[in-house]
């Protein structure tokens, strides 16, 4: 429904103020309005196939009467093609609109059409055509700015001419003023300054006198106030009847504190010296992340190592120096290489992609950042983390089988090998893994959670149970013996954990005929 209302709004704007049809006759305008009305009604009734037929008719109508397509009309027809998933027609429409834009001598309408083309090419995932239109848009915007500068120059010239006329008028009026010789003017100025100095000294003297009077009055008031307090204390010594012992005490409850909403658990580190950009990015990310900011390279690397954020957004230029090196150091460090990095650059196309590759960034954006695209990219990074979690779970299920798949991450590979080596040791703890990998317990647990979605204790337990299942299926021993082989000191605890994880009983699995496994 939102899409239909949007199309209806675009069509209404086209009918009310078509910028390229002002010179056409009334019959052509009426026909165009009728076609647009029919197209909108079909879209409103979700009949997009017939709406596309009307769109094709509208294109033929515009071509026959040599009317260039407008930006709003382009968005309307592209939306109809998108609803019908007709990429071929959309490509033809966008190519024709691009030719109209190239032929348009007016840079203002040309810029509007190119802006719409860039958006639609991106929607249809035509990056090369979007880049070409973006370059044409830059040329059109430069032309607009050139015209504005010319108009500003003409306005300045007119103002200069007006100032010249006013100067001539002022010179003519000065002839009517009384002229005083310079030495006499200096004399008058000196006398005026002397008078002002005398008045200033007199004012300071009066001010000092009033301050003395004020201090005297304050002392008198303090004496009167002390006397009054002394009299009140004497009156307060009179006996007062005590309240009955049965009277309950009055309990004053403090007001409840203001309750705020829960803070997000994830942390985002913004490495950006521009305060305006930081505020803008905070408005996009603050609903999902706790925001921390850094403005220098040393501060950024220190925060990244201490906080281990869930996302890093880094500008390619930090205080005149390259910010690519900061992102590269984050991705090369064993401590922080798991953190996704988004690079902000002022370059387009392959140049921006080259900056991202040099930094090892997971995504890159050209400034100014478009909020919808940036939000979608961040969401994709978060969803990619969930996909990695699912892949690791699949890896665990196949780890002790013949269909084992290799794991590429050195951190996870070393972790799994250490656990496998110590499966039979019931005293083996996550602290032992963190110590052997030369990491703190907190850092190891957070990095493992980011990469696998599992706590260290949970990972050790699941590997032990997966190994136990393989041994039970191969009948390598009794459930009690196998529980000891995989590090469970209590067979009852092993049976409960196995039942909870696999939903099967160890004795039933052990006694099941081999042909039914």
CB 80 within 8 A of CB 51: yes
The pLDDT score that the predictor gives to residue 432 is: 87
Q: Which residues contact 69 (CB under 8 A, 6 or more apart)?
A: 59, 62, 77, 93, 96, 97, 100, 113
Instruction: Give the domain ranges of the chain.
Output: 2-146, 266-369, 388-516
Listed residue (81, 89, 15) closest to 49, CA to CA: 81
The pLDDT score that the predictor gives to residue 220 is: 55
In terms of Cβ atoms closer than 10 Å to its own Cβ (0-12, 13-18, 19+), residue 181 is: exposed
pTM over 0.85: no
What residues in the chain have per-residue pLDDT under 50? 1-23, 234-260, 515-517
The DSSP bridge partners found for residue 475 are none
**227-278 pLDDT, tens per residue?**
555 555 544 444 444 444 444 444 333 443 333 456 788 899 998 888 888 8
| 266-369 is classed CATH 3.40.50.2300 | yes
The pLDDT score that the predictor gives to residue 222 is: 58
- β-pairing, 341-345 vs 266-271, is unpaired
Instruction: Please tell me the class of the 388-516 domain.
Output: mainly alpha
The pLDDT score that the predictor gives to residue 183 is: 82
Q: Please give the C-alpha separations between residue 493 and each of 377, 474, 485, 488, 499, in angstroms, as whole numbers.
A: 45, 21, 14, 7, 10
Q: Which CATH number fits domain 2-146: 1.25.40.10, 1.50.10.10, 1.10.420.10, 1.10.730.10?
A: 1.25.40.10
The pLDDT score that the predictor gives to residue 229 is: 57
Fold match flag (266-369 vs 388-516): no
Please tell me whether the peptide bond between 368 and the residue prior to it is cis, using omega within 30 degrees of 0: yes
**97-133 pLDDT, tens per residue?**
888 888 888 888 888 888 988 888 888 888 888 888 8
The DSSP bridge partners found for residue 366 are 345
The pLDDT score that the predictor gives to residue 511 is: 58
Give me 486's structure tokens. Answer: 């995989």
The pLDDT score that the predictor gives to residue 2 is: 39
């Amino acid at each position: 429904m939102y899409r239909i209302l949007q199309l209806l709004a675009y069509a209404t704007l086209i009918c009310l103020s078509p910028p390229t049809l002002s010179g056409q006759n009334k019959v052509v305008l009426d026909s165009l309005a009728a076609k647009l009305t029919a197209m909108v009604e079909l879209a409103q009734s979700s009949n997009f196939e017939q709406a596309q037929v009307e769109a094709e008719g509208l294109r033929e109508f515009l071509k026959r009467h040599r009317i260039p397509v407008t930006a709003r009309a382009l968005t309307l027809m592209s939306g109809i093609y998108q609803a019908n998933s007709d990429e071929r027609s959309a490509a033809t429409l966008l190519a024709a609109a691009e030719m109209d834009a190239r032929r348009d001598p007016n840079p203002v309408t040309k810029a509007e059409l190119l802006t719409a083309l860039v958006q639609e090419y991106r929607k249809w995932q035509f990056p090369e055509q979007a880049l070409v239109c973006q370059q044409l848009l830059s040329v059109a915007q430069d032309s607009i700015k050139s015209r504005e500068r010319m108009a500003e120059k003409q306005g300045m010239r007119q103002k200069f001419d007006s100032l010249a006329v006013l100067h001539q008028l002022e010179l003519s009026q000065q002839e009517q003023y009384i002229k005083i010789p310079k030495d006499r003017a200096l004399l008058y100025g000196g006398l005026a300054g002397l008078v002002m100095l005398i008045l200033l000294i007199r004012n300071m003297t009066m001010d000092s006198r009033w301050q003395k009077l004020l201090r005297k009055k304050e002392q008198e008031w303090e004496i009167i106030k002390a006397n009054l307090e002394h009299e009140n204390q004497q009156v307060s010594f009179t006996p007062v009847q005590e309240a009955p012992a049965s009277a309950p005490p009055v309990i004053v409850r403090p007001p409840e504190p203001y309750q705020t909403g829960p803070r997000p658990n994830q942390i985002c580190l913004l490495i950006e010296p521009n305060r305006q950009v930081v505020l803008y990015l905070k408005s996009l990310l603050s609903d999902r992340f706790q925001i921390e900011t850094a403005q220098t390279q040393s501060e950024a690397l220190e925060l990244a190592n201490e906080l281990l954020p869930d996302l890093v957004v880094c500008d390619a230029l930090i205080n005149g120096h390259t910010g690519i090196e900061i992102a590269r150091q984050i991705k090369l460090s064993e401590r922080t290489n798991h953190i996704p990095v988004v690079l902000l650059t002022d370059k387009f196309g392959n140049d921006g992609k080259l900056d991202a590759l040099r930094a090892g960034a997971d995504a890159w954006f050209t400034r100014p950042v478009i909020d919808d695209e940036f939000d979608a990219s961040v969401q994709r990074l978060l969803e990619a983390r969930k996909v990695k979690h699912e892949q690791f779970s699949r890896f665990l299920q196949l780890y002790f089988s013949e269909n084992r798949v290799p794991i590429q991450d050195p951190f996870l590979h070393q972790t799994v090998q250490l656990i496998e080596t110590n499966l039979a040791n019931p005293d083996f703890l996550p602290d032992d893994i963190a110590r052997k990998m030369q990491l703190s317990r907190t850092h190891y647990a957070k990095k493992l959670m980011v990469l696998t979605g599992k706590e260290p204790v949970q990972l050790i337990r699941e590997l032990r149970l997966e190994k136990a299942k393989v041994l039970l299926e191969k009948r390598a021993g009794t459930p009690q013996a196998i529980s000891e082989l995989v590090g469970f000191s209590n067979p009852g605890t092993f049976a409960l954990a196995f039942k909870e994880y696999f939903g099967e009983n160890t004795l039933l699995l052990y006694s099941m005929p081999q042909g039914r496994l």
